Copies of this chain bind each other. A is one copy, B any other.
Amino acid sequence: MVNKYTPKDFKSDQEVRWCPGCGDHAVLNSVQKALVELGIPKEQFTFISGIGCSSRFPYYMDTYGFHSIHGRASAIASGVKTANPELSVWQITGDGDALAIGGNHFIHAIRRNIDINIILFNNEIYGLTKGQYSPTSTKGLVTKTSPFGTVEEPFSVGELVIGAKGKFFARTIDTNLALSTQIYIEAAKHKGTSVIEVLQNCVIFNDGIHDTIADKEVRDDRTLILKHGQPMIFGKGNDKGLILDGLKLKVVKLGENSITEKNLLVHDALEANPGIQYMLANMKYPEYPVALGVIRSVPGPTYERSVEEQISEIQKTAKIKCMDDLLMSGSVWEVE
């Protein structure tokens, strides 16, 4: 298939206003690259965002876009998609937008399995309001509203998504364009709510928060890129892997204790029972590598298609075909 578009076709005429060095620039690029690969007519793309630095995203896309209000993007996107299932609907949101004020709409969109693609920019901070902690900030983080360190346990995005009946969850790093692009394509193809957590760097208010695992130097050893059907292998020299030890995951060195690729867990993103995916999503450095890639991708009926089917099913046999029929239905009487 020859692509009809190039990434440039998705660039709007608006100046990009993120801070120089902000991870958001990279996400914008990878999304524009991914859209090219989807074979979807440009006019079908609709980007819905809430409020936050990341939520400025739709302005920079030459697609239909709605920069809405803080926290409500999941609800608006749900409405768009249910109203017109033909559209390719993308929600752009931040850790505050999706998980603080927007937490309820987020879990309900996921529960309903509405076919929207949610890109969650997780910089573990409120960027736009200049640096207050968010529901994903590490405990102890010093910010403008936690001058002595937070005392709150953060959400783990993957855990919450799966807990809300999520069927697609992936994780990527802003700077990894190739992986990100690939994931956006898979998310778009998945039918149902897809949540992609992007570990995004905010150079101004939370600089380097993902460096321990995202830094070029170390990322091969500290992250594991999952691929469906492939053994869970990672490390600079592809020398490490994951096995199951009782009910827990365990990092092993290939070659040591006569462990070979054969012994490693093979990633099954399609498995409906979330047990292992749940553990994968939750892996934290230094005990484990942080899992990237598509962690869970389970097929299931989508809300908007079920609604569509129910309506057409009912219309097949319905006696009421138009408003006049409805008006005259039930008990009516004539006055002469």
Interface residue stretch chosen among A15-23, A176-184, A197-205, A270-278: A270-278
Can you spell out 17 A-B residue pairs with CB atoms less than 8 angstroms apart? A103-B108, A111-B154, A113-B153, A148-B314, A151-B301, A151-B303, A152-B303, A155-B164, A155-B165, A159-B163, A159-B165, A161-B163, A247-B273, A247-B275, A248-B273, A275-B278, A275-B279
Supplied contacts A107-B160, A152-B303, A247-B247, 12 more A-B pairs, CB within 8 Å: A101-B104, A103-B103, A103-B108, A104-B104, A107-B155, A155-B164, A155-B165, A156-B165, A160-B164, A244-B247, A247-B275, A248-B273
Q: Provide the bound-state CA to CA distance between A266 and B279, in Å.
A: 21
B159 and A135 form a contact (CB under 8 A): no
Is A145 interfacial (CB-CB < 8 Å)?
A: no
Most-contacted residue by chain B among A111, A156, A300 (CB, 10 A): A111
Q: Provide the bound-state CA to CA distance between A169 and B214, in Å.
A: 35
Q: Provide the bound-state CA to CA distance between A276 and B165, in Å.
A: 17
Minimum Cβ distance to chain B for residue A279 (Å): 7
A306 and B163 form a contact (CB under 8 A): no
* CB 8 Å contact bits of A242-274 with B (1 = contact, 0 = none): 001001100000000000000000000000010
Which residues on the B side are within 8 Å of A275 (C-beta)? 247-248, 275, 278-279
Protomer copies: 2
CB-contact partner of A153 in B111, B152, B153, under 8 A = B111
Q: Provide the bound-state CA to CA distance between A248 and B274, in Å.
A: 11
B151 and A306 form a contact (CB under 8 A): yes
Is A112 interfacial (CB-CB < 8 Å)?
A: yes
Q: Provide the bound-state CA to CA distance between A148 and B318, in Å.
A: 12
Name A279's closest neighbour in chain B (CB-CB): B275
Minimum Cβ distance to chain B for residue A95 (Å): 13
